[in-house]
Structure 1
C-alpha cells in the first residue's frame, strides 16, 4: 500500500484510454495502487513475452473495491488490499487462480500466507500475495522527544493517549485513512481483540479515536510526501510510507516502529476479475512478478516486505534487512490481520469514520 507520485512513461496509463471492448492478445490490463510497481518490472515482462502492460491506478482501497464490484472494468489483473478480498470473492467479482499456471507461487512465504488465511479464509485460491506490510507508527524522534521527554516510542499510547496527542499537535499528526486498520489498532491498544466485531468494543474504539481527533492534522492515504518533507512528526502509517524517510534519507530523524501491543499485517494481493478478458495473460504477469529477482526489485522500490523469501538474498543493501521489513518470528507473533466485514458492516464503519473526521 504505497502511493507515490510516479507514472512510468514507458507504461501506458489506462486513465487516458477507453477500456477495451474485447481482449487484446498483445496487452494485459493491470489495476494497481499508484506508483506501486517498478516500471522496469513491467518493461521486463514485455521484453520476455511480447505482451504490453496497460496500467490503470487508484489511490484508495474503497475505490478499487467499488470498481471491481461494479464489473465491466476490462481489467485482466488487479492488486487490492487484503481486507477487500473476502467481499470481492463473496460477490463473485474475482475468479480463482490456476496455480499450475503460476509455478513461481511455490516460492511464496507460506507462514505469512497462513496468518492471512487464518483470518481471511475466503482468500484461499482467489488471491496471491504481491507485497506485505504493517500498520504502525512513524515519528520524528527529535520533534517528539523535545515535546514528550521519555515518550513511549514503541507504544500506541504515543498517539492514542490524548495527553500525548495534544502535545504533538503543533508539529503535526497524520492518520492513515483506513478505518478498518485504525480501528483494529485502537482495539489492541485498549486491550481488546483487534478482530472484535462487538458493538461495545467498536464503540470504545471510536470513543478513543474521537478523543484524539481534534489533535489530528490529516486523515490521509497518501503520507509519503508529508513524512519525507517533515510536515508531520507522528503518523499512523503503512510501513511502505512510514519506512520511507529512514530508508531513503540516511540523515533522517524519523523512525518506524511496530508497537509492542501488536500491529496489523496487511497484504496487497493479486486477484483476477471474474470478467477478465485475458486471464491467461494475467497468470503470466503474476508468475513474472513472483520471480525472486523481481520481488527483490519490488522490496527496494516500495520499502515493503516481499512475498518470496528467496528474493532477500538478492538484495545487497543491508539496510533492507531490518526487522520491520523481514518480520522475524518475534515480530510475527505480534501481528494480526483485519477480520473481514460484510459490505453493510463496512458501510457503517465508513459513516462513523467520516463523522469522526469532520468532528461530529
Structure 2
C-alpha cells in the first residue's frame, strides 16, 4: 500500500509535544502485542483468533500515511511490537537502524513464502522484514461513465471528467502517474523528466477532486461520487465486489508493483510475541483467510490451496508475465528533495 518515506522533523515534534492522532483499540494486560497497521489490513478474525489461541491481548493502532507512521516510530521507538510497512519503508527504516533483526528460528513458517518474494532489493537477506501481501498501483473506473476499453494513464488527466477524478495522497504515486503519462519510468531518471511531470501534475490538480486516502477513494468509487481514480489493486477488487460497474486496469504504459511487509521495531518490548504473530500469519489457513477477506495477492505459496479460486484467477491481482514485465518498484533515488518540493507546491496549489 502505499509508499514514499520522508523524515519529517516537524511531525516528530508534533507527535511528541501534542499527542498522536492515531486510531487505537488499546487495553492494558500482562501479555500484550502492539501492532501498527493500515486500517482494515488483516483478516476479519485474525486478531481474535490469535488472542484466543495464544492468550495474548492485541492492541491495534492504525495509520493512514507512512510518513506519519515513520515519524511516530522514531518518536516512540518502544511503543509498537510489530509494524506493516512497504518495501521502500523497510529499506529506509533498516538504514536508520529502526528495525530489529528477526530471529528466523522463531518463524518456521517462513518456508511457506514463495521464493520470488524473498531476498529482494529492500532487504537482501530478509533479516528485517517478512513479505506479507503484494499488489500494484493502477486505475479504477466506472464503465457507466468511462469507456470500457480505457487502458492508459491519460484517463486521469482528461478534463472531460473534471471533479470526478481522484489521486492517491502520496507524492511518488502522483508524480509517478504523470511520469508514466509522459512514457517515462515511474521513478524519474533526470531533473528534466521531473520538471515535465510537474507541469502535467499541476494541470491535473485543477481537474481532480483531490489527493485522497485509498479507503476514501474506494468508498467514493463504490458510491459513484468518483468515476475514475488511482488506487491499489486490492482496494480496487474490494470495490469491484461492491459495485459491478467498476473495473481495474494496469495501464499499458506500465505501473508500480509493491510488497507490504511485517517488521519489528528495534526497541520493541514484545519481540518474541511479535515473531509468534508473524509465524501465525504465515500459516497457510490464516494467510489464505486474510487474502480471501481483503482480496489482496498473497506472498504465501502454501496458502494457495486455501485461497478462493476467483482471487487466484483474477489477472488484476495476479497479472500475466507480459504485464509483470512492465511493473516497477519505487526504489530510492537521488531526487528525493525535488519530489518533496514538487509535492509541497502541488498541495498548496
Interval of TM-score (by shorter of Structure 1 and Structure 2): 0.7 to 0.9
Mark the CA change 1:246 to 1:75 in structure 2 (over 3 Å): closer, same or farther: same
Residue from 159, 177, 182 that aligns with 1:185: 177
Residue 321 of structure 1 deviates from its aligned partner by 2.2
- Check whether the contact 1:247–1:303 (CA below 8 A) recurs between aligned residues: no
Aligned to 1:357: 347
Mark the CA change 1:154 to 1:53 in structure 2 (over 3 Å): closer, same or farther: same
Q: Is 2:212 the partner of 1:220?
A: yes
Aligned to 1:131: 133
- Check whether the contact 1:31–1:58 (CA below 8 A) recurs between aligned residues: yes
Residue from 230, 243, 255 that aligns with 2:224: 230
Mark the CA change 1:86 to 1:319 in structure 2 (over 3 Å): closer, same or farther: closer
Aligned to 1:9: none
Residue from 119, 135, 160 that aligns with 1:167: 160
Q: Per-residue displacement from partner, 1:22-53 (whole Å, max 9, x unpaired)?
A: xx751111110111112411111122211221
- Check whether the contact 1:84–1:340 (CA below 8 A) recurs between aligned residues: no
Q: Per-residue displacement from partner, 1:197-224 (whole Å, max 9, x unpaired)?
A: 5222222222221121111111101312
Matches within 5 A, 1:1-360: 1=1, 15=24, 17=26, 26-113=31-118, 117-118=120-121, 120-121=122-123, 124-145=126-147, 153-160=150-157, 165-170=158-163, 172-221=164-213, 222=215, 223-249=217-243, 252-318=244-310, 321-341=313-333, 346=336, 348-359=338-349
- Check whether the contact 2:44–2:293 (CA below 8 A) recurs between aligned residues: no
- Check whether the contact 2:165–2:208 (CA below 8 A) recurs between aligned residues: yes
Output the CA distance in 2 between the equivalents of 1:16 and 1:325.
30
Mark the CA change 1:121 to 1:205 in structure 2 (over 3 Å): closer, same or farther: farther
Residue 188 of structure 1 deviates from its aligned partner by 3.0
Residue 122 of structure 1 deviates from its aligned partner by 6.5
Residue 302 of structure 1 deviates from its aligned partner by 1.6
Output the CA distance in 2 between the equivalents of 1:17 and 1:282.
16
Mark the CA change 1:106 to 1:324 in structure 2 (over 3 Å): closer, same or farther: same
- Check whether the contact 1:86–1:123 (CA below 8 A) recurs between aligned residues: no
TM-score normalised by structure 1 residue count: 0.83
Unaligned runs of at least 5 residues, structure 1: 3-12, 146-150
Comparing 309-318 and 280-289, the one that deviates more: 309-318
Which structure shows the bigger proportion of residues in helix conformation? 1
Output the CA distance in 2 between the equivalents of 1:301 and 1:123.
30
How many pairs does the alignment contain?
328
Q: Per-residue displacement from partner, 1:280-305 (whole Å, max 9, x unpaired)?
A: 11111011011111111111222211
SS of residue in 2 equivalent to 1:326: coil
Aligned to 1:6: none
Residue 166 of structure 1 deviates from its aligned partner by 0.4
Residue 140 of structure 1 deviates from its aligned partner by 0.5
Unaligned runs of at least 5 residues, structure 2: 3-21
Output the CA distance in 2 between the equivalents of 1:16 and 1:312.
31
Mark the CA change 1:37 to 1:66 in structure 2 (over 3 Å): closer, same or farther: same
Output the CA distance in 1 between the equivalents of 2:118 and 2:254.
18
Output the CA distance in 2 between the equivalents of 1:293 and 1:306.
12
Output the CA distance in 1 between the equivalents of 2:283 and 2:174.
33
SS of residue in 2 equivalent to 1:353: helix
Output the CA distance in 2 between the equivalents of 1:142 and 1:14.
36
